[in-house]
Amino acid sequence: MMMQAKAFGKFAPSQLHPLRPFEAAFRIPEREGPAAWRSGIPSIQNFLNHLARYTRCESSREKYLRHLLQFCRWCGLTPEQLAQLPIEQAQSLVQTFADQLAEMGRSKAYVNTVLKRLKTFFRANGCQGLKLATQFVPVRYRKAAEYIPTKTEIYSMADVAGSPRNRAIILILWSSGVRVSTLCALNYGDIATEMEESESRIMIPIYPAMKERVPDACKGSIPYYTFVCPEAVEALRAYLKEREEKYGRILPDDPLLHSGWTLWSREERSTRRLTRNGVLLIVKKAAKLAGVPQWNQVASHCLRKAFESVLRSPTIDGGRMDPGTQQFLFGHILPGTQDVYYDKTRVDYHREEYGKLDFSRGSTPPRTVDKIVNIAELSSHFEQGWIFVAKISEGTAVVRKSG
């Protein structure tokens, strides 16, 4: 069925989305349902079968097929013709393609990713052992410039964001550290209980089933949870109250943060999700209005990196958060066997530790006092709010307390 084009090149929201270019080219008949990710081309189906053994992430499969289509168009060969090439010819074509991408100014990491994905296609079709030269990626290499806003700048961005929803988006991204796709995938039901109980630091759960809403929502299918600071919770409550007054009751399966796209009908808007690009535009506009000099280098992911800075900074009691807890709240797997033994079930403990993080607006760090005490006096000092810092000798230790 032909789709009716709308203003600004958009399609009518009520109609089905057309097949994406790689789906049309690789004879994948549907975007959803039993025929999705099923191809009428044997070499493509071999490729999809191979990917299914390692990932169920639709986003990953889409990226692999997009790069393969780009390569097919460049060399003028079909996937079936590529699968039949002698290894030397396949190797030469892939290497030349990658080298040309590098000459066009694509990042070294991008070129290496393309090499890896094309090599996977040939391996899935029985062509093993392609010897390809990758690009050397220096430590801390990044082609696109980025700017991590300071705490003061983030609050300024939130204050000029333009709406309760936009303010909540910026403060949630920063104070929870969730990835943008995770934010877009959140449903109201994920936090409804704690919101209704007036919890000051609500828990944000991240779990694999969220990938059914947004493919990249739970990276690596690693479940974890994090929290949102009190000021972000206040912003979220203000937004949800305004949304209910405007669109009616919010259901558990409705997105936590809705799309404001005006081409949706009024009845639909509260049930439609934000997109990654929509969040990026909100963040960049807020950075520009806040007067951040490098506003154009502030991406949504920069707020996640700003959250990492808070995790690593001194807490409000003058201490430091345990590195394992930092990694867990950031959504990373702990190294070695640490992850297996780390207790992820202690929600109250993690909420308490999160509560020690310094999300205050003031730029001056809390004043702390250090004192040397006898080991025998530690218990009484702990009761008074002092924390252990270091052991000096067999009989003495350093303790610290906020002044």
Range of the domain at 50: 7-124
Q: What residues are paired with 386 via a beta bridge?
A: none
pLDDT at 140 over 50: yes
Clarify whether residues 163 and 260 are in a common domain: yes
- The arithmetic mean of pLDDT across residues 183-196, rounded, is 94
> How many C-beta atoms lie closer than 10 Å to residue 397's C-beta?
19
- Is residue 150 within 8 A of residue 358, CB to CB? The reply is no
Same domain, 206 and 340: yes
* pLDDT of amino acid 138: 76
Asked if 112 and 133 count as a contact pair (C-beta separation under 8 A), the reply is: no
Using the predicted structure, report yes or no on whether residue 1 has a pLDDT greater than 50.
Answer: no
More confidently predicted of 67 and 269: 67
Work out the average pLDDT over 106-111: 90
Closest-CA residue to 179 (of 159, 204, 144): 204
| Pairwise pLDDT comparison (6 vs 36), residue with the higher score | 36
219-240 per-position pLDDT tens digit: 888 899 999 999 999 999 999 9
Give the DSSP H/E element, type plus range, for residue 397: strand 396-402
For position 8, what pLDDT does the model report? Answer: 40
Identify the residue whose tokens are 């259901």. 251
Please say if the pLDDT value at position 188 is more than 80.
yes
Question: Do 377 and 345 belong to one domain?
Answer: no
As to burial, measured by CB atoms within 10 angstroms (0-12 exposed, 13-18 middle, 19+ buried), residue 94 is buried
User: Is residue 226 classed as helix, strand or coil in its secondary structure?
Assistant: strand
**Does the residue 86 lie in any domain?**
yes
Length of the chain: 403
pLDDT beyond 80 at 402: no
Same domain, 281 and 217: yes
Q: Stretch 38-43: mean pLDDT, rounded?
A: 94
Instruction: Note the pLDDT of residue 230.
Output: 94
Dump pLDDT digits (tens) for 295-323. 999 999 999 999 999 999 999 988 899 99
Rounded CA separation 135/138 (Å):
10
- Top pLDDT among 172 and 10 is at 172
- Quote the pLDDT of residue 141: 60
If pLDDT is split at 50, 70 and 90, which confidence band does 98 have?
Answer: very high
For the chain, how many structural domains are there in total?
A: 3
Residue 78 falls inside a structural domain: yes
Copy the structure tokens of residue 10.
Answer: 């958009």
How many alpha carbons fall within 13 Å on the CB side of residue 165? 18
Which pair of structure tokens corresponds to residue 320? 């430091």
- Map tokens 């520009």 to a residue: 288
Contacts of 180 (CB under 8 A, 6+ apart): 173, 276, 279, 280, 300, 301
> Would 1 be classed as within a structural domain?
no
Separation between Cα atoms, residue 40 and residue 29, nearest integer Å: 9
Is pLDDT above 90 for 338? no
Per-residue pLDDT band for 44 (boundaries 50, 70, 90) equals: very high
β-pairing, 396-402 vs 203-206, is unpaired
Do residues 71 and 203 both lie within one domain? no
Is 244 found in the same domain as 112? Answer: no
